[in-house]
């Protein structure tokens, strides 16, 4: 039960804060000497964070579902931006899985994430919003999301920085990153869920508690990120990644 609560917190907070959920789910068990979440727990935790982002951005999603002109266009761009990560994930699945067993490489990538986030503070502030995005913008941010398949590279961090490069404001870059992340999070949960069903695994009560923790902490993490971005940008998260990655390299 305590393990499930811990993994729920790690998944919920790090899925949306730009500090790499995949990296933390490798490094936290390694540092604590605990086993990481199994396939069943991982699949269910993704459903918890999916529920959090859907609840937070329900108005944007309702616009897409209703298929009004703006919503239809946004939905098409989300699907287009998902293509790079989907192609990379299917092509490099075996290679990426190997990295989960190499925590020192993951720690090094977390340091790289920190450097990128800190460097992003030097970018000129943009003023574009999500409704102004085009196909090229969606593909560029989608390519950044594909890079986050490497454990230790933050998905939200990479996509927010790419959005800033394309001229989005901080909050709008985060908004687009989260909308783009919905298919990715849903796909990860579905993939792991199917693997679980093939293996005949079941869902424990502890795992369900972890799902609730992941959903609640994920919702809070989205609100925190948007608040910090509006005032301080990505610098605090970049410094955290530098410190956490460096500490993990030393300890491991």
Mapped onto helix, strand or coil, the DSSP state of residue 128 is strand
- Check residues 38 and 30 and name the one with the higher pLDDT: 30
Chain segment 112-169, per-residue pLDDT in tens: 999 999 999 999 989 999 999 999 999 999 999 999 889 899 999 999 999 999 999 9
Per-residue exposure over 71-91, b if at least 16 CB sit within 10 Å of its own CB, e if not: bebbbebbebbbebbbebbee
**pLDDT over 90 percentage in the chain:** 61
| pTM for the whole structure | 0.90
Number of domains making up the chain = 1
pLDDT at 111: 96
Task: Find the domain containing 192 and state its range.
Answer: 2-251
Phi, psi of 195 (to 5 degrees): -60, -40
DSSP letter for 150, please: S
* 50-83 pLDDT per residue, tens: 999 999 999 999 999 888 888 999 999 999 999 9
- For residue 37, which of 58, 20, 54, 21 has the smallest C-alpha distance? 21
């Amino acid at each position: 039960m305590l393990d499930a609560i811990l993994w729920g917190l790690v998944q919920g907070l790090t899925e949306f804060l730009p500090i790499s959920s995949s990296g933390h789910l490798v490094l936290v068990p390694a540092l604590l000497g605990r086993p990481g979440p199994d396939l069943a727990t991982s699949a269910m935790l993704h459903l918890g964070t999916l529920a959090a982002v859907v609840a937070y951005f329900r108005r944007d999603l309702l616009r897409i579902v209703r298929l009004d002109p703006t919503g239809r266009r946004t939905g098409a761009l989300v699907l287009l931006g998902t293509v790079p990560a989907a192609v990379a994930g299917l092509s490099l699945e075996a290679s990426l899985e190997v990295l989960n067993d190499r925590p020192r490489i993951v720690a090094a990538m977390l340091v790289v994430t920190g450097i990128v986030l800190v460097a992003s503070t030097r970018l000129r502030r943009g003023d574009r919003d999500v409704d102004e995005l085009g196909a090229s913008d969606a593909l560029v941010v989608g390519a950044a999301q594909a890079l986050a398949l490497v454990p230790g590279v933050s998905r939200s961090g990479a996509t927010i920085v790419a959005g800033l490069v394309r001229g989005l404001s901080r909050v709008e870059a985060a908004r687009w990153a989260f909308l783009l992340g919905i298919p990715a999070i849903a796909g990860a949960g579905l993939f792991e869920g199917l693997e679980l069903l093939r293996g005949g695994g079941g869902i424990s009560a502890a795992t369900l508690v972890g799902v609730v923790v992941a959903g609640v902490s994920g919702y809070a993490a989205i609100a925190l990120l948007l608040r910090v971005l509006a005032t301080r940008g990505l610098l605090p998260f970049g410094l955290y990644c530098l410190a956490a990655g460096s500490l993990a390299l030393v300890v491991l």
